[in-house]
Amino acid sequence: MCGIFACYNYQGNVEDFRQRALYLSKKIRHRGPDWSGCFVGKNTILAHERLAIVGVDSGAQPLVSDDENLVLCVNGEIYNHKQLARNLKTTPVFKTHSDCEVIMHLYNEMDTELVQHLDGMFSFVLLDQKRNRIIAARDPIGITTLYYGWDSKMPGTVYFASELKALNEECDKILAFPPGHVYDSETGETTRWFNPSWWEETRVPSAPANLKLIRESLEKAVRKRLMAEVPYGVLLSGGLDSSLIAAIAARETDKIASGATSPESDDDRYDSSGPTLWPRLHSFSIGLPGSPDLIAAREVAKHLNTIHHEYTFTIQEALDAVNDVIYHLETYDVTTIRASTPMYLLSRKIKAMGVKMVLSGEGADEVFGGYLYFNAAPDREAMHAETVTRVKNLHTSDCLRANKSTMAWGLEARVPFLDKQFLEVAMNIDPAEKMHDRSKGRAEKYILRKAFDTSDDPSAKPYLPDSILWRQKEQFSDGVGYSWIDTLKEISLQKVTDEEFATASQRYTKDAPTTKEAFMYRVMFEKWFPQEACTASVVRWVPRADWGCPEDPSGRAQKVHEAAYDGQ
């Protein structure tokens, strides 16, 4: 991934604005420490901060077409770029080995319809100089981050950036660019292009779970995401989701290393160069000493024979990092900050090893109703509606966390559970099969666990040990060590006085904090982002109160957790 900044239809001397644009782009250089680029057109500037993972030798951006008409900045990865290039009606000469260049050639043939054909995670801005037109688009779920903004003193000018911090000094209106949408300056409209079969919450599917299809679809999703020309690894918490991704990635890596499969023989014609780099998979975990996640991750790594890297942190190290975490996250949401802090610390350790890309397990809990509060879902219709809503809102929570916690150090996270084709399978399953029923042995994400359960086939190699495959759900902020959240709560009680907290609703008219911990984060956020426009893109993650769930988003706050908070 990378960082992009663009200003379209600047109403002033655009050359004079160049240095200002470079300054704003530099604010997100942590996303792309490998190279910087800038293009200045008639009234438009595009700047790019590059993290080189594919086409390392020749993929610097902004990319410019041969006729110098099209200029492109992309943040993300296009997994089917080779297939798309082969299917072009023309046979253009590619100037780079980048997976992103194909977007320009698709635009020449399909205009904005090109986004329908991209398989990957992406945000991009493309300038058509002949038409003085700019288009911008974001991937279906919002795995990559993108914002756009306006300055009321300069109507008609539009700004785009990968992070809020590149816009807040320049714009008095800033919005999160909606996932699965495309913006066209010729119409001034942002329209949704992503229309999957499962999008409407009221259309409740009735198809039974096809366990074989679930397994094969996830395996295919992981295989695509091994496209890389740099060392990569997996984030391994020891929970079900990250462990399954690690298990599949380890098998794919072993296939390449043993010669059982070559990159050129991939049936789906995806670029499978990644597993040729390291003959064994590297896995990474973090937690407080003796935390549940560290113990479980160790067991998984031993089972998978990965080269395992385990890191511990102290409560004080994490507390010291919270302020910086909020700067990078650009949110004051409680659960996102809690979970992002360990991920932020781990990402720095991983990048220090020279690793640029990791696979991660985000999305499974939303898709399969894995959070413990789903135990309170009253019926299959409510279960389905909540999973759809949660997937639609991932860009405000787990996707935002995974992207910004890792990209703070120039590390890219890829999330197979949010693959378009996998979602078509998983979101069209009868939600009754996703509902929790411990009395019948149906733990959360039962069908996902069962899809990778090989116990009925003695000849099959188990994907995971049973103790991991059937382990209770732990949210990452809990799994790194229960004392992490407990300490955050205690610190907020010390830092925020009763008098300060009593002013919360007057001080903050939007999202007034309801706990001292939330108040503490809001004050930190306000120091980094004092402009009123900065709160419009923030969304708080709160479990379903109408299901009788407590407001605290921690998994331990739910009654069904084996180590639930006292009094819950």
Asked if residue 154 and residue 253 are part of one domain, the reply reads no
Report the pLDDT averaged over residues 255-266. Answer: 59
- Least Cα distance to 140 among 548, 471, 423 occurs for 423
Number of domains in the chain: 2
Asked if residue 472 and residue 326 are part of one domain, the reply reads yes
**Domain annotation covers residue 566:** no
C-alpha distances in angstroms, 321 versus 113, 261, 317, 342, 473?
A: 43, 43, 6, 9, 26
CB 300 within 8 A of CB 238: yes
The pTM for the full model equals 0.93
Mean pLDDT of the chain: 91
**What pLDDT is attached to residue 268?**
47
Asked if residue 181 and residue 223 are part of one domain, the reply reads no
Report the pLDDT averaged over residues 387-394. Answer: 97
Q: How far apart are CA 555 and CA 294, in angstroms?
A: 18
Question: The domain spanning residue 438 has which CATH number?
Answer: 3.40.50.620
Asked if residue 454 and residue 398 are part of one domain, the reply reads yes
Asked if residue 314 and residue 175 are part of one domain, the reply reads no
Q: Which two tokens stand for residue 26?
A: 């530099």
Asked if residue 306 and residue 254 are part of one domain, the reply reads yes
Q: How far apart are CA 390 and CA 368, in angstroms?
A: 10
**Domain annotation covers residue 546:** yes
- Of residues 316 and 93, which shows the higher confidence score? 316
Q: How confident is the model at residue 93 (pLDDT cuts 50, 70, 90)?
A: confident
176-198: pLDDT as tens digits: 999 999 999 999 999 999 999 99
Question: The domain spanning residue 36 has which CATH number?
Answer: 3.60.20.10
Among 13-17, 467-471, 478-482, the least confident range: 478-482
Report the pLDDT averaged over residues 339-357. Answer: 95
Say whether pLDDT at 378 is over 90.
yes
Q: Which residues contact 237 (CB under 8 A, 6 or more apart)?
A: 243, 285, 293, 296, 297, 361, 474, 476, 479
List 2, 73, 399, 534, catalytic entry: 2
Asked if residue 313 and residue 261 are part of one domain, the reply reads yes
Asked if residue 464 and residue 431 are part of one domain, the reply reads yes
Report the pLDDT averaged over residues 462-467. Answer: 96
Q: Which two tokens stand for residue 75?
A: 């943040």
**Domain annotation covers residue 219:** yes
Q: How far apart are CA 75 and CA 262, in angstroms?
A: 28
**Domain annotation covers residue 202:** no
**Domain annotation covers residue 96:** yes
Q: Which two tokens stand for residue 181?
A: 């949408």
Local structure of 3: helix, strand or coil: strand
**What pLDDT is attached to residue 14?**
95
Say whether pLDDT at 239 is over 80.
yes
Asked if residue 228 and residue 82 are part of one domain, the reply reads no
Helix (H) or strand (E) holding 292: helix 292-304
**What pLDDT is attached to residue 482?**
82
Q: How far apart are CA 98 and CA 77, in angstroms?
A: 9
Could you confirm whether 2 is annotated as catalytic?
A: yes
Asked if residue 109 and residue 10 are part of one domain, the reply reads yes
45-75: pLDDT as tens digits: 999 999 988 877 766 899 999 999 999 999 9
Say whether pLDDT at 264 is over 50.
no
Asked if residue 508 and residue 460 are part of one domain, the reply reads yes
Say whether pLDDT at 275 is over 70.
no
420-434: pLDDT as tens digits: 999 999 999 999 999
**What pLDDT is attached to residue 374?**
93
C-alpha distances in angstroms, 115 versus 75, 109, 119, 140?
A: 14, 12, 9, 10
Domain range for residue 498? 211-557
